[in-house]
Amino acid sequence: MDTNQLKKNAAIEAVKYIESGMVLGLGTGSTANFAIREISRLINDGSLKNIAGIPSSKQTAELAKELNIKLLTFSEINEIDLNIDGADEADSQLNLIKGGGGALLREKIVAQASKRNVIVVDEGKMSESLGSKWAVPLEIIEFAYEPVKSYAESLGAVVALRKNQNGDYFRSEEGNLIIDCNFGQIKNIYQLNENLNNKAGIVEHGLFIDIADEIIVSKPAGTIKLKKQ
Q: What is the pLDDT of residue 30?
A: 93
CATH code of the domain occupying 3-126+209-221:
3.40.50.1360
- Average pLDDT for 203-211: 98
- Alpha carbons within 13 A on the beta-carbon side of 134: 24
Q: What is the pLDDT of residue 94?
A: 97
pLDDT tens per residue across span 112-161: 999 999 999 999 999 999 999 999 999 999 999 999 999 999 999 999 99
Q: What is the pLDDT of residue 54?
A: 98
Residues 42 and 37: their CA atoms lie apart, in Å, by: 9
Active site residue 153: no
User: Residue 188 in contact with residue 194, Cβ under 8 Å?
Assistant: no
Flag whether pLDDT at 171 surpasses 80. yes
Flag whether pLDDT at 177 surpasses 80. yes
Query: Domain 136-201 falls in which CATH fold?
Result: Alpha-Beta Plaits (3.30.70)
Kindly report the three-state secondary structure assignment for every residue of the chain: CCHHHHHHHHHHHHHCCCCCCCEEEECCCHHHHHHHHHHHHHHHCCCCCCCEEEECCHHHHHHHHHCCCEECCCCCCCCECEEEECCCEECCCCCEECCCCCCHHHHHHHHHCECCEEEEEEHHHECCCCCCCCCEEEEECHHHHHHHHHHHHHCCCEEEECECCCCCECCCCCCCEEEEEECCCCCCHHHHHHHHHCCCCEEEECEECCCCCEEEEEECCEEEEEECC
pLDDT tens per residue across span 62-106: 999 999 999 999 999 989 999 999 999 999 999 999 999 999 999
The ranges assigned to domains in the chain are 3-126+209-221, 136-201
Exposure b/e, 194-217, CB count within 10 A at least 16 = b: ebbeebebbbbbbbbbebbbbbbb
pLDDT band for 228, please (50, 70, 90 cuts).
Answer: confident
pLDDT band for 36, please (50, 70, 90 cuts).
Answer: very high
Q: What is the pLDDT of residue 90?
A: 98
Residues 53 and 80: their CA atoms lie apart, in Å, by: 8
- Average pLDDT for 190-205: 98
pLDDT band for 51, please (50, 70, 90 cuts).
Answer: very high
- Alpha carbons within 13 A on the beta-carbon side of 9: 17
Q: What is the pLDDT of residue 229?
A: 72
Flag whether pLDDT at 19 surpasses 90. yes
Catalytic residue among 13, 38, 89, 107: 107
Q: What is the pLDDT of residue 84?
A: 98
